[in-house]
Amino acid sequence: MTTPLSIHNLLDGGWRTVLSITGISIAIVLIFMQLGFLGAVLDTAVVFYNNLKFDLVVRSPDYYHFCDANKFSKEYLNQIKNIEGVEAIQPYHISLGKWNYAEKSVQRGMLIMGVDPNGQTFSVTDVGVKLPDLTRLINDRTILVDQKSRPQFLGIQNAEGFSEKDIGLRIELNEKECEVAGLFEIGTGLAANGASIIHEKGFDRVFPNYSANDVSLGLVQLHPQLQNDATAARDLINKSLGFDPGVSSPPVDVLTRNEVVRREVAHWVGNTPVGFIFIAGVVVALIVGAIIVYIVLSADISKQIGEYATLKAMGYRNGYLSRVVLEQAIVLGAISYVVAFSVSLVLYQVVGNAANLAITMTFNRQLIVLGSTILMCCSSGIIAMQKLRKADPADLF
C-alpha cells in the first residue's frame, strides 16, 4: 500500500510541519475555549429555571432577565389557580439587594429570592445541584445562601467561601438583620456574585417597596395529562383570562418552559455584549487558523514547486495536484484537532474551577469545532492551490 503524496510532503516538512500543527492547534483551542465560555454563560443564565419546578411561567410584560424580573399583581395567580388543568401555582419573588457583613464592613450585591417554605418550588435537573432545604426558613429573618457565592461576601480577604461553619452567621440584607440558616448549591446567575433565599414574608421586610400583593414570577404546575402539551395549556389560560397576545399586550405573560429558556438565552446573546464577544472570538480564531494553514501550504508549494512541475510535465492534471494539496490541508486540520481537543479538555477543567463556571465538553460542540476546522483548512487549501493551478510547467524549470 503506497503512502499518499500529501503525507510524504508533511513528513518531509519535519519541524516545519510540527510548528504548523502547533499554530493551527492553538487556533482550534481558542475556538473550543470561546464556545466553552459561551456555553457556560448560557447555562448559567438559565441555571435557576433549570432547577425550578414548573410547566408554565407567569411573568410581567416588563420582565428584563431573571435577576430583573419586575413584578405584577398576585391576583392573576389567584385567577390562574382556579383554571381547569392547573394543579398548583407557586409565587416566586426575585430582586437584587445589598449584602452587608458588618464585622468585615463588606457591602456587595446579592440576588435575593423569596419563596413559600411550604411550597414545591425546586426540582433537580442539573448535575451537581444541592437544593435548598426550605424547612430551615422558620421565620422572616432566616436565609439560605448559595455555596457558589463569591468568598468575598465573608470579607475582602476571605478565600474559602461559605461552609457549614457559617450557619448562624448574622448579616444584613438591605440593612435588615438576617441569619444564615442553611446552604444550597445551584449557582448565582450572570447578574450577581451571590445568591440567597429568604421566606417570602422576609422578602417583603427586606424590600419595603415590594408589597404582599406583588410577585415576580408565578410557577405553574399542570395536571399530568396536560404536562406533555404545555402550549395548549398556556393558550387555555390566556383564553380563560381573556388575553389575546396576538391582538394586544396582556398584563402578564404566560410562557412554557421552552419559551422562557429560549428567551432568556436570546436576551444574553442578543441584548448584551456577552454573545457578541464570544462569537467574535470564534470568528477571529477561525481567521487566524485559516491564515496559518494558508501560509503553511503556500510555503510548501513554493518549496516543492519543482516536484509539482515535474508531475505536470509527466501528465498529471491539476485535479490530482489540487487533491494532494487539499488532502494535506485536511490531514493538518485533523491532527491539529486531536491535539487541540486534548488540550481543551484540560483547560476546561482548570479554567472552569478558577472562574467558577461549569464548562463542559459537549458532543455538539466537538462536531461544530471539527466541522469548522475542516472548513477552515479546506478554504485555505483552495486559496493556496491557485498558484499551482495557474502555473505552466515550462515556466517552472
212-235: pLDDT as tens digits: 899 999 999 998 887 788 888 898
pLDDT tens digits along 280-305: 888 888 888 888 888 877 777 777 66
Q: What angle do CA 204, 207, 209 make, to 5 degrees?
A: 95
Rounded CA-CA distance 122/52 in Å is 4
Q: 352 phi and psi, to 5 degrees?
A: -60, -45
Query: How do strand 176-184 and strand 106-115 relate by DSSP bridges?
Result: unpaired
Do 113 and 195 touch, CB atoms closer than 8 A?
A: yes
Query: How do strand 214-215 and strand 253-256 relate by DSSP bridges?
Result: unpaired
* Distance (Å) of CA 392 to CA 295, 311, 381: 22, 12, 20
By residue count, the chain amounts to: 397
Do 76 and 313 touch, CB atoms closer than 8 A?
A: no
- Residue 39 grid cell: 456555553
Query: By C-alpha distance, which of 40, 19, 49 is closest to 261?
Result: 49
Place of cell 455584549: 273
Q: What angle do CA 92, 129, 346 make, to 5 degrees?
A: 135
- Residue 337 grid cell: 484537532
- Residue 391 grid cell: 502555473
Query: By C-alpha distance, which of 380, 389, 369 is closest to 320?
Result: 389
- What parts of the chain have a pLDDT lower than 70? 1-3, 5-6, 9-11, 13-14, 102-106, 125-127, 156-157, 159, 247, 304-313, 315-316, 318, 387-397
Rounded CA-CA distance 169/15 in Å is 61
Do 172 and 100 touch, CB atoms closer than 8 A?
A: yes
Do 155 and 101 touch, CB atoms closer than 8 A?
A: yes
H or E stretch covering 180: strand 176-184
If 0-12 CB within 10 Å is exposed, 13-18 middle and 19+ buried, where does residue 85 land?
A: middle
Q: Say what the pLDDT of residue 1 is.
A: 43
Q: Say what the pLDDT of residue 291 is.
A: 84
Query: By C-alpha distance, which of 217, 361, 384, 218 is closest to 293?
Result: 384
Do 381 and 293 touch, CB atoms closer than 8 A?
A: yes
Q: Say what the pLDDT of residue 278 is.
A: 81
Task: Classify residue 3 by its DSSP letter.
Answer: P
- Residue 117 grid cell: 417554605
> CA-CA-CA-CA torsion for 180, 185, 191, 193, nearest 10 degrees?
60
